[in-house]
Structure 1
């Protein structure tokens, strides 16, 4: 320390016109650049003497002059700042990695849900088709307001000679009152393929929509509900 600085330190206790300045935690003014020529505010208490120097007699330093070693040295300050920057970067990386893992898990979960839904949908549709049946056998299979698809065979066949070459695809429906109905299908050929339509003419029903596939037709009628107004509902305009 210079001789003028030593004299300044010796006079601190006797000189009453020193002002104590607590600059710990002070903020650098906007636009100032951090460098060795523009140091940060001290992390210790300093006093301004009559010469305008900021000093700390206990640490024997004049700010912004810093000791070469120890807690208040410039090198220690830089190392501490680098440590804090590394810790902040690690915290940000950890937060980013957590969000990335969360997004991946959410994407996998959505994919699994979609796969399960498609599997259940396929399984549900496959349960709608019950194969080759006689019309009378369906009463033991259906519950009220349920329907099934089947190929209708004759009620009784005494020999293979009575086996029909073609059997119609039918939709069997049990009404809310337990009455059985069997509906035919219509097909429409277009350049884009075969389209399907349910035929309700046997019950005097209205013209039904046309579907590109049997699966689409099934999904439509599974979601359809007709309120009869007497506390009961139907899928088809019957009873």
Structure 2
């Protein structure tokens, strides 16, 4: 089963189900620790490492049916139904789960992704991580300096370096880079899953992001007829990192508000 980090509710509200969070490509549960703690004010929050990421098992496939199956296993073990929040790759896995095993999901929050195939490729970041000189590396600041030669964006470097285990000798990436590279067409793609999830679904996007275009709304509504759309001003694809407090508030209002 996937590695799970659980944040117990501070003041439990028995009317609210637990929340499951699925991170995006190259991420981990660690990326969501602060947001998860804040959202655990009234419910337990469980954050997983997706397969081939973090402390979760390594597997030869990164397909969305397989990732959705992982999430279903977690929910079945911890207690269904749950609210589910997924970002990017994790959002597609969450959509696949809701479309195929909708009884496990009460409400769905999809952060900056749509149920469509994209033409972009993320293998340049795999090349950059593979190319990082790990010899004699002992500090994150030095890793950041070295990685800046291939990844100029400091925010992206900080994100990627959360998956670098500096305690190992030599340091290692907590990512199965070989499988992620091999499965990249599936990750940026979409399996064309049919059906409908009839629960309320929030598509929360960054106003500066181009991942959820207006022309995708017809496809979204055909699969998620109770869709709601919201944008975070000043945020891009990494909206939860760029505007964390606004992101938390939008998620909390949606999950705690509309009746199921």
Q: What TM-score does the superposition give when structure 2 sets the normalisation length? A: 0.25
Structure possessing the higher relative contact order (Cα contacts under 8 Å, 6 or more residues apart): 2
Q: What TM-score does the superposition give when structure 1 sets the normalisation length? A: 0.26
Which of the pair is proportionally richer in helix? 2
Larger Rg: 1
Which of the pair is proportionally richer in strand? 1
